[in-house]
Structure 1
């Protein structure tokens, strides 16, 4: 039996993964909803493998991976994610992630990935590997805004100009409620918590003038 530690801040995902692994040769020995708690649980339970959600309170799944590798811990790590921006992808691959499983379709892919990893293989979707390779070859710095949709980017641009939600709604011809939805998803993707943090990130990522 292969012992597994699962860290995901969504209870339905924890329940879903537990259901997928039930009656298999993988046993979940501990679950947690926070990244920092996950690292403590790794030390306490010493699992054979770890499954981390990409985005969690405390520490992200990638940050947990980096901390483990920095301490010399080479046990297999699988990242669960709904989407993966360039920066997180590069960080994950560079720090030896063993598998990446997209939440859309995870029910079918997770068990196959865990078994492949246990056999010494890597279980990363081919398109993600190609993307990581292209970024490395081209010497590109991952764009922190690369994960945003067109509308999320438009709303973020307006925030960087100092506009409030009502003004953004008028400028982009949408409701204030829709602006709030886009802001929430943008905060989640970029790992920021306030309008000020978002505005600073937008200014840092803006193209630099040659003059």
Structure 2
């Protein structure tokens, strides 16, 4: 992606909204839209599209997860990163099921936030690691079918790095593999796990204790 990343900010707290806007502007990220009311965002984005939506997850009325559902129902695929002050795996799962591309704790560093926005704008998914107890207890309708899945040590290692939010290039550097080779591994993992994206592959692997 060339040029500055354009972001929409959504938070019901005015001070947080202004603070985030100033922080992102300082890092060279364009804030094209600010809203304290998530219900107004889908209509606003239809008039002023952005590269990434950055939204609080807990808000009165329309919360961050409801916002994602509203966008997807309109056919708007704008990637969304949800911010939360709570280390809550159930929220992460709900966000992923709704179609979120990123989930980040609010105590993340400015550099981590900027990196998350850049990655999601490039089409990646990013989940900041959170407590995995509730995730491991989560059962999906497809879970029983995973009993026959067999992953190699290399595939398991790659999945663990994906779970940590590493890009293909970073995974390749860590495992001394070409970036294209990592991409091929991940494509094969998506097929084996019957998942549409990296995030769902990680969550499904966690529920089956594969990683």
Work out whether the TM-score is over 0.5: yes
Distance 1:73 1:127, change over 3 A: same
The alignment status of 1:62 with 2:98, answered yes or no, reads no
Alignment of 1:1-211 (within 5 A): 1-83=4-86, 85=88, 87-127=90-130, 131-132=134-135, 134-136=137-139
Question: CA offsets, 1:39-67, max 9 Å, x none?
Answer: 22222211121111112233001000011
CA RMSD, 1 decimal: 2.7
Shift of 1:98: 0.9
SS across alignment from 2:126: coil
Distance 1:46 1:128, change over 3 A: farther
Where in structure 1 do 4 or more consecutive aligned residues deviate above 6 Å?
A: none
Question: CA offsets, 1:100-120, max 9 Å, x none?
Answer: 121123534211110111222
- Native 8 Å contact 1:20 1:111 kept in 2: no
Aligned length: 140
What is the rounded CA distance, in whole Å, between the counterparts of 1:77 and 1:132 in structure 2?
21
What is the rounded CA distance, in whole Å, between the counterparts of 1:102 and 1:8 in structure 2?
14
Choose 1 or 2 for highest CA Rg: 1
SS across alignment from 1:52: strand
Unaligned residue ranges in structure 2 (runs of 5+): 144-211
Shift of 1:84: 5.5
TM-score by length of 2: 0.58
